[in-house]
Amino acid sequence: MHFTLTPEQEAWRQEVRAFFQRVMTPEVKERVIRENRYDDPEIYKAIAQAGYTALSIFKEYGGMERGYTEIAIFTEEAILAGVPHGVFSIFGSTVHFAAHAIIRLGTDDQRKRFIPKILAGEMTSTQGFTEPGCGSDLAAVQTFAQPDGDDFIVNGQKIFNSAHIATHLFTLVRTDKNVPKHKGISILFIDLNSPGVTIQPVHTVAGWRKNIVMLDNVRVPKANLVGEVNHGWYSLMNVIDLERSAMHMPVTRKKALDALLDYLSEKKVSGKPALDSPLVRAKLADLYREHLVGWLLSYKVLWMQETRQNATAFASYQKVVNAEAVEHFAHQAMELVGPAALIEGKGKLGKKWSAMNGILADMYLNARVQQVGGGTVEIQRNIIAERHLGVPRGS
């Protein structure tokens, strides 16, 4: 059993780290915060120009075909360098989901049409899974695609996506209402510039922009059907595996932990260094312990994926541990820092008075999202009970 990276993986880390250090300059980071550009297209453009949109795409289609561990290293270095969440979200949706779905499930025509544009950064994709009435139970989608000659006519709504910075919607639609819900679903690739598409912004409590995409008699060519008609649920399960280690959560927390330690190293409490307090030291130890558990679970999932094992149950373990640790960290860190932790690091006043550049305020506001997005922690616990502990499914 080895808990180290290979020399090749270490070299890859150094390459990626050097790239992000060149891209994420202090000026770029300042611009992201000042202009609230968490979906900065210039950063995505730089990633594409460097060829990293080829990261997980198979070599026969012009990609790098990097393994799960190398992809995780890329994620770690991007987050540590400060790549904003909107850029990383659209990168993952495009490179890890849409491209893989097209390669694994699509036609030769689709691969020729879409993959070169994805590699060049000209085509980006956002996930169209969640609807106003359906989230964690994706099989409950109601957006309907009616066949009409060589096209589908699509009506419905999708919510909590990054459609404002994407060219296409990689989405689940219902194509048969008369069969069990898992059997009547298909995957469509919808051009967001199509007539009948309306994109309406919605903002999270943390100020991040997401959208409602309204589809009103949108005509989509059947040539954009990815995989078999009515087989979309099973096709989706075949391409969703790159999300399962969720490496972004422990890495984001580690970055905040390091910033917290630096801040407390300078802070005084009643005239004494904060780190002299047994309470502060104990809380820091607990927070680092929680981070290490979550980080190791994420790498456990990566190892299982690399060795072609079924990682479903352990993916749920890491999701529960990491998602709940974010909220616990935010609460504990705010207690250690004090009122300044509540101030966002935006504007002149924010920059002057906020602690840790507003990291904790942002994390606190976004903490609950981590327990909902990608499958709620309640559903993850059901998966653990059924698939790892052998508990019978409830009626």
pLDDT at residue number 37:
81
Pair 151, 79 in one domain: no
Pair 184, 291 in one domain: no
Nearest to 170 by CA among 106, 109, 217, 119: 106
Nearest to 280 by CA among 335, 237, 219: 335
Single-letter code of the amino acid located at 79: I
Residue range 316-339, pLDDT digits in tens: 899 999 999 999 999 999 999 988
- Residue 298's CATH number: 1.20.140.10
Q: Cα–Cα distance between 94 and 234 in angstroms, integer?
A: 20
Residue range 184-221, pLDDT digits in tens: 999 999 999 999 999 999 988 777 889 999 999 999 99
Structurally, the chain folds into a number of domains equal to 3
pLDDT at residue number 1:
59
Domain enclosing residue 86, as ranges: 7-123
Pair 252, 188 in one domain: no
Residue 298 has pLDDT above 80, yes or no: yes
On whether the CB atoms of residues 293 and 324 are closer than 8 A, the answer is no
- DSSP states along 240-274: -GGGTT-THHHHHHHHHHHHHHHHHHH-EETTEEG
pLDDT at residue number 184:
94
What is the token pair recorded at 344?
């966002």
Q: Which residue has the tokens 């989509």?
A: 220
pLDDT at residue number 74:
94
Indicate the range of 115-119, 214-218, 338-342 predicted with least confidence: 338-342
- Per the domain annotation, does 273 fall within a domain? yes
Residue range 26-55, pLDDT digits in tens: 999 888 877 878 888 899 999 999 999 999
Q: Cα–Cα distance between 94 and 96 in angstroms, integer?
A: 6
pLDDT at residue number 243:
61
Last residue of a domain, one of 178, 213, 239: 239
Residue 137 has pLDDT above 70, yes or no: yes
Percent of the chain scored above 90 by pLDDT? 59
Q: Cα–Cα distance between 46 and 42 in angstroms, integer?
A: 6
pLDDT at residue number 18:
98
Q: Which residue has the tokens 């390459």?
A: 15
Pair 334, 380 in one domain: yes
pLDDT at residue number 212:
97
* CA dihedral (188, 191, 197, 203) positive or negative: positive
Pair 109, 136 in one domain: no
Residue 157 has pLDDT above 70, yes or no: yes
| Residues recorded for the chain | 395
pTM above 0.85, yes or no: yes
Cα angle 146, 152, 156 (rounded to 5 degrees) comes to 65
Pair 144, 271 in one domain: no
Nearest to 105 by CA among 202, 236, 222: 236
- Per the domain annotation, does 1 fall within a domain? no
pLDDT at residue number 348:
67
Pair 141, 263 in one domain: no
Nearest to 213 by CA among 321, 97, 129: 129
pLDDT at residue number 47:
96
Single-letter code of the amino acid located at 126: T
Pair 381, 248 in one domain: yes
Indicate the range of 76-80, 193-197, 212-216, 370-374 predicted with least confidence: 370-374
